């Protein structure tokens, strides 16, 4: 069964039947309880729409010029960027379903979409939710596990996967931020099956848990509508899937993964951004990037953008 057919025959899956949408003013503990019990939550109006729209424009320019030999992503202003460029698989441009990139790769002139989203998240009320989920105010943003994605909506069949299987069993949750409105049936987004199981489900050889789990649990299927500024958080065992309807529409998104710094595996912290509270304000207190990971310029841009960051803060090598 195609996802478009599922939506047509079961339109109720678009409703928030399990009351998993929250807004500013909701105690972080309430959101935490919902995530632990159901595996997915929506935070409404968590980020400023104007920032996301600007990030989308920059990302779109980057994506549309992937096959140009000297595209705007090769430079920042008048100077050269030392960060790596797009992967070789995009040397001829995007595929039928779009492209995906490490967050520090996506840039158009002096704009860094992923940096803008991360900075906005730190300034948002949603950051208190992130801290609550991490059990700490000392956070590591694991950039190597973050993804910048341009999706071109192609018809897709029903299926789902779990991050604990296909990403990492150690990272507890993922934050998904679309840079635009996402309307089921029109724009590719994310769908979830709630409540989340307590562990890994049996998988097919490619890591997908298959269509049966989704179709056998229709009462828990949730395909939410996102307004620009909304974001979802899903737990590592939460079955979820990319919604695709064959409309050929474009969707740009940033997926962020973070956890308590003292719990993050050392190998997962290259590169990373470290955030803690200083005088009660979430502040970048350091970064990490090995000499072999070409993300130093990205990290320097992020650090300089924080008004409370130490003036001399630079990406460590």
Residue ranges per domain, the chain?
3-135+146-257
Q: Are 100 and 147 in contact (CB under 8 A)?
A: yes
Query: Could you give phi then psi for residue 34, rounded to 5 degrees?
Result: -65, -40
Task: Write down the CATH number for the domain with range 3-135+146-257.
Answer: 2.60.120.620
The whole-number pLDDT of residue 77 equals 37
207 C-beta neighbours (distance < 10 Å), count: 11
The chain-wide mean pLDDT, for the chain, equals 91
pLDDT of 78 higher than 50: no
Spatial contact of 129 and 254, defined as CB atoms under 8 Å apart: no
Q: Does the structure show a pLDDT above 70 at 274?
A: yes
Q: Is the pLDDT of residue 26 over 50?
A: yes
Distance in angstroms (rounded) separating the CA atoms of residues 72 and 69 = 10
Polymer length in residues for the chain: 317
Question: Looking at the predicted structure, is the pLDDT value of residue 187 above 60?
Answer: yes
Residues β-bridged to residue 243: 189
Question: Which of the four pLDDT bands, split at 50, 70 and 90, describes residue 34?
Answer: very high
Residue 109 pLDDT: 79
Q: Residue 317: pLDDT above 80?
A: no
Nearest to 126 by CA among 225, 256, 214: 256
The band of 304, judged by pLDDT with boundaries at 50, 70 and 90, is confident
Chain position carrying tokens 């790596």: 84
């Amino acid at each position: 069964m195609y996802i478009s057919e599922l939506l047509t025959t079961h339109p109720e899956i678009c409703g928030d039947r399990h009351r998993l949408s929250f807004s500013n003013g909701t105690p972080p503990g309430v959101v935490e309880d919902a995530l632990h019990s159901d595996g997915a939550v929506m935070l409404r109006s968590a980020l400023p729409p104007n920032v996301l729209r600007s990030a989308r424009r920059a990302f779109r320019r980057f994506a549309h010029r992937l096959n140009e030999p000297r595209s705007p992503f090769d430079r920042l202003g008048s100077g050269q960027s030392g960060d790596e460029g797009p992967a070789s698989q995009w040397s001829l441009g995007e595929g039928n379903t779009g492209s995906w990139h490490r967050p520090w790769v996506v840039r158009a002139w002096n704009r860094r979409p992923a940096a803008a989203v991360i900075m906005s998240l730190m300034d948002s009320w949603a950051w208190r939710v992130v801290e609550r989920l991490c059990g700490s105010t000392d956070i590591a943003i694991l950039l190597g596990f973050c993804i910048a994605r341009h999706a071109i909506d192609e018809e897709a069949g029903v299926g789902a996967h779990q991050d604990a299987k296909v990403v990492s069993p150690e990272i507890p949750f993922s934050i998904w931020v679309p840079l635009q409105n996402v309307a089921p049936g029109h724009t590719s987004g994310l769908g979830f099956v709630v409540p989340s199981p307590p562990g890994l489900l049996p998988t097919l050889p490619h890591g997908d848990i298959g269509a049966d789990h989704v179709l056998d649990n229709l009462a828990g299927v949730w395909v939410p509508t996102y307004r620009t500024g909304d974001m979802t958080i899903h737990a590592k065992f939460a079955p979820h899937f990319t919604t695709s309807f064959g409309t050929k529409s474009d969707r740009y998104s940033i997926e962020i993964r973070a956890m308590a710094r003292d719990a993050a595996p050392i190998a997962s912290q290259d590169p990373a951004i470290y955030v803690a509270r200083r005088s009660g304000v979430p502040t970048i207190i350091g970064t990490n990037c090995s000499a072999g990971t070409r993300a130093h310029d990205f990290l320097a841009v992020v650090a300089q953008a924080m008004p409370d960051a130490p003036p001399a803060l630079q990406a460590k090598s």
